[in-house]
Amino acid sequence: MFETEGNSLVFRDEKETVRIEPWGKNSFRVRSTYLGDICPGPGALIEPEVVEVSVQQSTECVEIKNGRLIARAVLRKPWDGSYPQIEFLTEEGQILLQELSFANAQRRRARQFDAQPGGSFHLRATFLSDPSEKIYGMGQYQQEIMNLKGCNLDLEQRNTQVSVPFYISTLGYGFLWNNPAIGMVHFGTNTTEWEAHSTKQLDYWITAGNTPAEIEQQYADATGHVPMMPEWGMGFWQCKLRYWNQEQVLNIAREYQQRGIPLDVLVVDYFHWKKCGDWRFDPEYFPDPGAMVRELHEMGIETMVSFWPQVSWQSENYEEMRDQGLLIRNHSGVDVQSIFHGNNVLADPMNPRTRQYVWNKCRENYTSKGIRAFWLDESEPGYTNYGFDNMSSYAGPLLEVSNEYPKEYARIFYEGLKADGQDDIINLIRCAWAGSQKYATLVWSGDIFSSYVDFRRQICAGIQIGLAGIPWWTTDIGGFFGGDPTDESFRKLFVRWFQFGTFCPVMRLHGRREPYVDLFNKAGELIEGTGADNEIWSYGDEVYDICRKYIDIRESMRPYLRRIMQEAHETGAPVIRALFFEFPEDEKAYDRADEYMFGPDLLVAPVCYENSYEREVYLPKGTLWKLLSTGEVFEGGREYLVKAPLEVIPVFTRGADLACGFTI
């Protein structure tokens, strides 16, 4: 039977221990172990405030009520002992989520632990599925699918894929799989099944809310709130693969200054170092980085530098880090986890001594030069071979903990900058996990291709990752791989992507443009090369004029941007929002994968098909909408065909009389 421990319920038998614990407003955390005691971690949840609960218990059933959410455990009696089946329901009696029943001869367990060598388990957690339910969130997967019902999703981090295992259901609840193990989730029509390939315990969190906004706020309360976006992050960012010397960086900044184009951030990309893991400027190409940063600051431009966790065997820091146990280690074979520019191993941010070591190097070689913004690349991290079963970290085998890597990686820089007295922090990073947002994580969508298909996928990705609790998100304007600035068809794609980037949480231009040029150092050695020019004047006069217009629009939106960034900070609300986030009563608002709300008041409908100069736009019901390019007013609840010449992205204000401060 269940026992009460504090305000929690605990079930024990000879094999399993189950704990159901209130964890924040209208929320419960459920943990279960097999042949052992409940352990406190790992996970994304932070300690909650104590809440009042009520418990009702009978011979075969126990209920614990926290606000509007009830957890009910029914004690089943299979042939080999008692087994609690857990379900969650509202105070009105509506079932939100229910574990698989044991009440038949198949003897299937909802919480199935299959023993593995070494004391870990292969875990499957199975819930009954409501076929009418729609599911949203889960991070960033490269697909044009909004409703994830019916999808199979890998729970692992890869370049362009971000696994943040939190979703919102149209039934009125949010669910976090609070386990960083490599695994999968199957959102079937008969069951929903979560799978961890290797773990010590089951751990999940569930919350109930009347609206998506309420669910999102409770999730932010449980895992941490994103900070307030710094003022210097809200404008235009310039980047390319790659500015490879100091004079080139300064010349680009001076050109923007001379043209009178506002520029918030200029990014110095990877291999400004000699060897991965040196974590300092190569003096052959950056002889005086302190002077470079000072000049950029005088122009009002923040300098961001790339950082990789890879450590080359030839790095000046490799032997020390190896000997101090600060690296990811292979269980067998040679310790090589990446072969990009030679043999590399990976720093282990899950080790607190690694975090301190890395930050000391950054303080010595970067922040002492005036740099206070970091681009945390390769943050999955970028393994050459994703052999999770052959690697371990300080926190345990990667099969058990790998998905937490990007969160702990971002933590190095957030806590380091905080400790050094900086409050306005942004970590641009390629991956994230649940809770990453509290470390000032700005996710970008990775090394995507320069195509209309990839462009469309980013719109859906931006919506889903916001619903998964990561409000700060961006994408490489124009895509990363490919794209010739002299090619007319790519120029049109670039314009459409630039317009979309204007209405993203961060407006950032990046890419590996063609043709790519090889570079050699003074010793004649081949080093990382550079792509073609990628500044807004690199695409011809027509494109330049359009881009300049949208940078000015971005500047004019600063008061609105401050407002929606403050809302993200305080409530956890996404910046890019699914239409249903603002209009939960409108059934037609739930499946739009190519339009979104930018904050509460702007509806954005990117043009994302080649040679298209008009598009269908659905306007949610319950309000009037004004098209900013023409001033026309439309009634909500209908779909319209809207003109969109190359220089125009359809943007609507919510309400005919709303003054937004700019026109399209």
Q: Which of 87, 348, 380, 594 is catalytic?
A: 380
Q: Could you tell me which residues are beta bridge partners of residue 122? A: 114
Rounded to an integer, what distance in angstroms lies between the CA atom of residue 228 and that of residue 214?
A: 20
Element (H, E) at 409: helix 405-419
For residue 231, the one-letter residue type is E
Q: Which of 447, 454, 594, 595 is catalytic?
A: 447
Residue with tokens 């922090």: 425
Three-class secondary structure of residue 358 per DSSP: helix
Rounded to an integer, what distance in angstroms lies between the CA atom of residue 492 and that of residue 483?
A: 11
Helical residues (DSSP H) of 519-557, grouped into ranges: 541-556
SS3 content of the chain, % helix, strand, coil (to 5): 25, 30, 45
Contact at 8 Å (CB) between 375 and 304?
Answer: yes
| Residue 212 neighbours by CB distance under 10 Å | 25
Q: Which of 203, 377, 400, 404 is catalytic?
A: 377
Among 415, 410, 386, 275, which Cα is nearest to 328's?
A: 386
Tokens of 327: 């690296």
Rounded to an integer, what distance in angstroms lies between the CA atom of residue 439 and that of residue 472?
A: 11
Instruction: Answer positive or negative: Cα dihedral of 222, 223, 224, 225.
Output: negative
Three-class secondary structure of residue 276 per DSSP: coil
Burial of 616 (0-12, 13-18, 19+ CB in 10 A): exposed
> CA 493 → CA 214, 419, 475, 553, 608, distances in Å?
37, 43, 14, 19, 8
Active site residue 377: yes
Contact at 8 Å (CB) between 18 and 30?
Answer: yes
| Residue 239 neighbours by CB distance under 10 Å | 24
Contact at 8 Å (CB) between 139 and 468?
Answer: yes
Element (H, E) at 8: strand 8-12
Cα 391–chain centre separation: 24
Rounded to an integer, what distance in angstroms lies between the CA atom of residue 510 and that of residue 475?
A: 8
Helical residues (DSSP H) of 55-175, grouped into ranges: none
Among 444, 407, 408, which Cα is nearest to 429's?
A: 444
- How large is the angle between the packed helices 488-502 and 541-556, nearest 10 degrees? 0
Rounded to an integer, what distance in angstroms lies between the CA atom of residue 69 and that of residue 228?
A: 31
Three-class secondary structure of residue 205 per DSSP: strand
Report, as residue numbers or ranges, the catalytic residues: 377, 380, 447
